Structure 1
Amino acid sequence: MIAAGAVLGVLGGGQLGAMFAEAAHRLGYGVAVWDPDADAPAHRIVRHSFTQSFADPHAFDSFTRLASVVTYEWENVPWMLCRDIEQRKPLRPSSAILKLIQDRIVQKDCLRAHGFPVPRFAVVSSPEHLSEAVAEIGCPAVCKTATAGYDGKGQWRIRDESDLVEVREAFRATGRQDLRWIVEPLVPFERELSVLAVRGIDGEMVVYPIAENEHDEGILRKTIVPARISPSLAAQIGELARQTVSRLDGIGVFCLELFELSGGQILINEIAPRPHNSGHYTLDACSVSQFEQQVRSICGLPLGKVGLTTPAVMVNLIGDDATRVTQGDCAALLAGPGSVLHLYGKRTVRPRRKMGHVTFVASRQETALERAFHLQDCLSKTAIT
């Protein structure tokens, strides 16, 4: 067990890193953030801040001497850096898990090999092989970069042969011959779901309520908790999460992104080895948030209970939403009961950038849903005018 007073290291200083730091501070820990982006939000709330390149050997030495245990808030941090850190200090989740999850092909191969349900997929290693892969999978399909890419970046929808031109051009524009891409069917899902599973160093596990998600152009827009699914399906998903994280031998917070098909079949889309945007509701609707669980799990503390204190609906604030939400009719919605605003303090506003979120909590899910709908409608109208 890593006792209070120790310094916890986190790679990445975005909003997830900042929320982790806040939870760690509340439990009596110091935090060291390493993120080359000097404007990353977490840098402003921690005592130990590293803004050097991840390749800087002096920063590596100082960071690893300072931290008692290290985690990460983003799965695209260099896995080789994590491997090297692991030679000096505990890294949770491990660098082996990070390496596996960073490559969508390796991740899905592993899941399929262990009997976990994933969509069909084909691997593309050159632009010339794209047509063959699409013919194997069928249209409509989606092509994704095997590594990197998030919030819809590095993804292309393929409705017919004419869409292949843009994808091939994007492939060639990289100028690299070592990249691999993955082609999957555009899954005809009933719902997009997600579930948080937390595993401690002693193997103890807790699973949060299932979340129902709505995306817009690959970016999460709204999360509804609990998901509007049957108790039996919720139990099935919870067990799937337990089995998957146990098979990975993971320590920390994991999020399984899922598709629910007609008939109740579940497919695993991707796994995130960290707290997740769809889990932000836990800050306001659970006694122990996903970020506190991250601290507890990597430090060897007992895990907290995960039951909902109230139904919740979370709405992401993207780009200019963060300024519009505090104006006019939108601001009036925030003054209502059960409305909780979170702004991430990012200095630069960009389209498609997550700038904050609003969580609506209410004793009745319908009430929270209605308030969330009104906020989305208000944001949309404000954007038009």
Structure 2
Amino acid sequence: MRPVLPGSTIGVLGGGQLGRMLALAGRHMGYRFVTLDPTEDSPCGQVADRQITAPYNDAEAARELAQLSDVITYEFENVDAGVAAMLESASRVPQGSSLLYTTQHRLREKRAIEAAGVRVAPYEEITSAANLREAIGRLGAPCVLKTATGGYDGKGQWVIRSAEEADEAYAALSQAQTELVLEKFIRFERELSVVAARSPRGEVRAFPAAENIHEDNILHLSIVPARAPEEVLKRAERMAVQIAESLDVVGLIAVEMFQTPEGDLFVNELAPRPHNSGHYTMEACATSQFEQHIRAVCNLPLGSTELLTPVVMVNLLGEHVEPLLRWLAEQVQEDLQVTPKLHLYGKKEAKTKRKMGHVNLLVNDVKDALKWIEGTGVWSR
């Protein structure tokens, strides 16, 4: 459990934008980086000391990563759990493979959250179309059918609005050849998320809760402070800490929640890594989520999670990049009420709906940030 001190090499399983921002944060602290990713010139590979270009399930490449690294982390949860388990025996992987095994499967994840004493939306495992029709009768419509594995940004799920849709929904999602889970539809007032960090020494800290707004099932905005009662926000942070401690998390865990009009909170899902809704921390908090993750996996004391300024994070998708760059080049920045901080991820091709970067808007009042977003015209639908 000795600390992994600056000057050491951190291996990153995955070369996407989260790995990139981890490496940029770690470089400030004096760490070196090597990443494993199947895509040449990956976002993380561009800023790491070295990239191993190979599939995630390539055992030989994983062994090479282990040989080059003093500690290994992963930047997204769909890493092959078997490779992560193999790495545990060959290197230091503080996050471990157990948490991956749990969070890669919605049923296991829900049961783990319940075991932590935290509420999830009522759900049932689905094994057949007939079973689905019966479950809809018990949970009521609308409800949401999801694949137990895979799926992100709205993929791998079907909102069922009446029992008549059961056969069609089952036929479509059962093609994934994985277990299915049916969730009761929660009529929520807002979506919240909390990113918490835990170190091997047992220290736990939670960042302030973010209010998240999605468009087409993709995160559009994260607003901090969230526009919810203070008691609800503190309870959300306590729930995230409770889950981090129950699951023996090392590194970050992002806890996504629904808040009902009555103030009840239901956990929707977990992500055992840095999270899109935590990008606001890069300029708005005393410690960013990326530095905090490095501190945690290296068993250093965790940093302060104090919020220094209100902030709105807005995602840049492929269709937003060119108009935003053009707007930034042409506009005179006279509005001192909003300080925009641009982060681009180094992806070569700006595809529609693909996450290409984000902007953190530092403000005194989040209303000013929302006006700024609308005024640019970049995010108009």
Please say whether Structure 1 and Structure 2 have the same fold, judged by a TM-score greater than 0.5: yes
> Which structure 1 segments of 5+ residues have no match?
none
SS in 2 for 1:32: strand
Match of 1:284 in 2: 283
Question: Aligned partners of 1:203 and 1:331: how far apart in 2?
Answer: 50
Match of 1:50 in 2: 52
> Which structure 2 segments of 5+ residues have no match?
none
SS in 2 for 1:317: strand
**Structure 2 residue 265 is matched with structure 1 residue 266:** yes
Q: Measured at CA, do residues 335 and 302 of structure 1 come closer, stay the same or move farther in structure 2, by a change above 3 Å?
A: farther
Q: 1:146-165 counterparts in 2 under 5 A? A: 146-165=148-167
Q: Structure 1: which amino acid aligns with 2:357? A: G
Question: Aligned partners of 2:41 and 2:175: how far apart in 1?
Answer: 29
Q: Measured at CA, do residues 58 and 114 of structure 1 come closer, stay the same or move farther in structure 2, by a change above 3 Å?
A: closer
Q: Structure 1: which amino acid aligns with 2:194? A: V
Match of 1:131 in 2: 133
Q: 1:64-75 counterparts in 2 under 5 A? A: 64-75=66-77
Q: Measured at CA, do residues 363 and 298 of structure 1 come closer, stay the same or move farther in structure 2, by a change above 3 Å?
A: same
CA contact (8 A) 1:123 1:183 kept: yes
Q: Measured at CA, do residues 162 and 225 of structure 1 come closer, stay the same or move farther in structure 2, by a change above 3 Å?
A: same
Match of 1:78 in 2: 80
**Structure 2 residue 298 is matched with structure 1 residue 299:** yes
Q: How many positions carry a matched residue from both structures?
A: 377
Question: Aligned partners of 1:77 and 1:55: how far apart in 2?
Answer: 8
CA contact (8 A) 1:127 1:171 kept: no
Q: Structure 2: which amino acid aligns with 1:115? A: G
Match of 1:242 in 2: 241
- The counterpart of 2:89, out of the listed 83, 87, 90, is 87
SS in 2 for 1:238: helix
Match of 2:345 in 1: 344
**Structure 2 residue 22 is matched with structure 1 residue 23:** no
* 1:154-174 CA-partner distances (Å, limit 9, x unpaired): 111111234335423323534
**Structure 2 residue 312 is matched with structure 1 residue 310:** no
Task: Report how far residue 350 of structure 1 moved.
Answer: 2.2
CA contact (8 A) 1:360 1:372 kept: no
Task: Report how far residue 328 of structure 1 moved.
Answer: 4.1
SS in 1 for 2:267: strand
**Structure 2 residue 101 is matched with structure 1 residue 99:** yes
Q: Structure 2: which amino acid aligns with 1:290? A: Q
Match of 2:212 in 1: 213
Q: Structure 2: which amino acid aligns with 1:356? A: G
Larger mean Cα displacement after TM superposition, 50-59 or 71-80: 50-59
What is the aligned-residue RMSD (CA, Å)? 1.9
Q: 1:184-223 counterparts in 2 under 5 A? A: 184-223=183-222
Q: Structure 2: which amino acid aligns with 1:169? A: A
* 1:26-81 CA-partner distances (Å, limit 9, x unpaired): 11111111111224211111112111122333312211111111111101111111
Larger mean Cα displacement after TM superposition, 188-197 or 40-49: 40-49
Question: Aligned partners of 1:335 and 1:10: how far apart in 2?
Answer: 40
SS in 2 for 1:196: strand
Question: Aligned partners of 1:192 and 1:317: how far apart in 2?
Answer: 20
Task: Report how far residue 128 of structure 1 moved.
Answer: 4.4
Larger mean Cα displacement after TM superposition, 124-133 or 101-110: 124-133
Q: Measured at CA, do residues 141 and 224 of structure 1 come closer, stay the same or move farther in structure 2, by a change above 3 Å?
A: same
Q: Measured at CA, do residues 126 and 311 of structure 1 come closer, stay the same or move farther in structure 2, by a change above 3 Å?
A: same
Task: Report how far residue 287 of structure 1 moved.
Answer: 2.2
Q: Measured at CA, do residues 128 and 262 of structure 1 come closer, stay the same or move farther in structure 2, by a change above 3 Å?
A: same
Q: Structure 1: which amino acid aligns with 2:341? A: V
Identity of aligned residues (%): 38
CA contact (8 A) 1:122 1:136 kept: no
Q: Measured at CA, do residues 245 and 380 of structure 1 come closer, stay the same or move farther in structure 2, by a change above 3 Å?
A: closer
Q: Structure 2: which amino acid aligns with 1:82? A: A
Task: Report how far residue 284 of structure 1 moved.
Answer: 1.4
CA contact (8 A) 2:285 2:308 kept: yes
TM-score (norm 2): 0.94
Task: Report how far residue 329 of structure 1 moved.
Answer: 8.1
Match of 2:361 in 1: 360
Question: Aligned partners of 1:92 and 1:152: how far apart in 2?
Answer: 30
Q: Structure 1: which amino acid aligns with 2:35? A: V
Q: Measured at CA, do residues 103 and 335 of structure 1 come closer, stay the same or move farther in structure 2, by a change above 3 Å?
A: farther
* 1:259-299 CA-partner distances (Å, limit 9, x unpaired): 11122111111111111000101111112100000111111
TM-score (norm 1): 0.93
